[in-house]
Amino acid sequence: MSIHLELRSYRGGDRHRHDYSQILLPMRGAMRLDVEGHHSVVSSNCVAIIPRDHEHDFEPSRDCSMLILDVEASAFAGEAAPALLRDALPSLTRVEPWLWRMFRQLGAEVEAGACQASDAARLALAGLQLVEPSALPRPLSRAESRVLGLTRDASAGSVAEMARTAGLGQSRFHALFRVTTGQSPKQMQLGRLFDEAADKLATTALPVSEIAYELGYQNASSFNRQFKRRFGLTPSEFRAASRSGGPG
């Protein structure tokens, strides 16, 4: 096995490690991933990398389905590996919508038996060459550095407060935020909000309505709709899946 591609459905996890790197592309549902203390929620429009020899565990949603590539170092035979695989640390990277549609189509063809797994693996790796790593390819301006610093501060406050802290008008702040992060401030805040929600659902017995109120929602129904839009399942379904246990 230098490259092995497979579409897998998950019901539960167990802590383990591999002597190869693993690439996860979610086709349906979501997965709460723990790679040696690095916690993330793997969901639509992103790719997760688990480097070789990294112990990991996961909690999938009930309908979780992943396009998985198991990749040995020898797979590239002197060719350049995708930038995402050159770092020895686990990562979770957003994928451009047009490229994500390609991965979804590839997964659908594998599931339908319309594409050989070996051919699909090479196509997937070619697509991963187009995924930009998180690091910016040029030095940051001072304003961009201030903006990027605020993205690392979970207590940075509202968008207006972040703009004031950065010493920028809101329109300029929004523009620089997109340049430095590839997303809007609102998208970043929602991502953090729902990652926190997923963690509370998986690790506490708090009612869904109470979690919604704690995160600033005036009613649980709005929270439920947005949570399902992001993860593909309701908060209650996510909680049930995270506690279902069993082998993966």
Q: What is the pLDDT of residues 204-223, one digit of tens each?
A: 899 999 999 988 888 899 99
Residue 44 amino acid letter:
S
Residue ranges per domain, the chain? 3-128, 142-182
Residue 149 amino acid letter:
G
More confident: 55 or 189? 55
Q: What is the pLDDT of residues 37-87, one digit of tens each?
A: 777 778 878 899 999 899 998 888 777 889 999 998 777 766 677 888 877
The separation between CA 125 and the C-alpha centre of its own chain, rounded to angstroms, equals 18
CA 141, CA 8: separation in Å to the nearest integer? 43
Q: Do 75 and 69 contact (CB within 8 A), yes or no?
A: no
Predicted TM-score (pTM) of the model is 0.55
Q: Is the dihedral of CA 198, 204, 210, 213 positive or negative?
A: negative
Q: Output helix, strand, coil percentages for the chain, rounded to the nearest 5.
A: 45, 20, 35
3-128 sits in which CATH class? mainly beta
Helices marked H in the chain: 97-112, 117-128, 142-151, 159-166, 170-181, 185-203, 208-214, 220-231, 235-242
